[in-house]
Amino acid sequence: MWLLLNLGGKVAALLLADSAWAVAVACWFVPDAILAYHVFMPHAQGTLRAPRRFITAGREVWLTIDDGPDAEDTPRILQLLAEHQARATFFLIGQKAAAHPALVHAIVAGGHEIAHHTHTHPIGTFWCATPGRVRRELDAATDIFCRLGISATRFRTPGNQKSPWLQSVLKSRRLAPIDWTARGLEGWSTSPGAVADRVLRHLAPGNILLLHEGPGVPVGIRVEGVREVLGRLTRAGYKCVVPTAAQLASS
């Protein structure tokens, strides 16, 4: 739909160029701006509909951790989760899962969920990936998970970037896209406390919290941001759970 709208705008601009140049300029550029908004802006739902919350009657949140598994961070995060009796979903990169199969099994053994975060995490180019490349990113990681005995049914895009055809490819692979309510933005933070302040600023039941692991997180914040968030959630009486599909479908 969005590509047809964009193409229609270009055709209209060419037809109106001689008689109404201002309208023609608007027809040329406005569809581009609308499409760019839905591709790049967090929470934009125009090209990919994904839940930002889940339905719950209790003081529960969903902790999601992207970009693993990581040899240094994952074991420590699993220990923290066990200490707080918390469950989480790890959105794993296929290449990293292939390199660290024992960590993938450790995540599952800890009672946590494995989800899909593409095979190579092409954060700079995923927005403009062709349908064929999108399929390859999804299928390569899915093959790795299957070899490890994992059935990943949920997906998050790298950098929350979408494309006009991503939703149809996900549907054909039976992968459910997942958004987030609040994120830690660890790369922009100066301390673990700042990460927790940001991700818990509007804490409410049903929030989906996004944190990261691995070398993309600054040294002083790696794992410690997760520790601070879990500590504050525990003190506030919140549980970290993995919601069912029904809880997401109703949100």
Residues labelled as active-site residues: 66, 212
| 8 Å CB contact between 150 and 114 | yes
Query: What is the torsion angle, in degrees rounded to the nearest 10, for the CA atoms of residue 89, residue 223, residue 92 and residue 205?
Result: 20
Give the 3-state secondary structure of residue 26.
Answer: helix
| Residue 152 burial (10 A CB sphere; 0-12, 13-18, 19+) | buried
| 8 Å CB contact between 122 and 158 | yes
| 8 Å CB contact between 35 and 4 | no
CA 54 to chain centre: 15
AA letter at 192:
P
In angstroms, the CA 61 to CA 212 distance is: 16
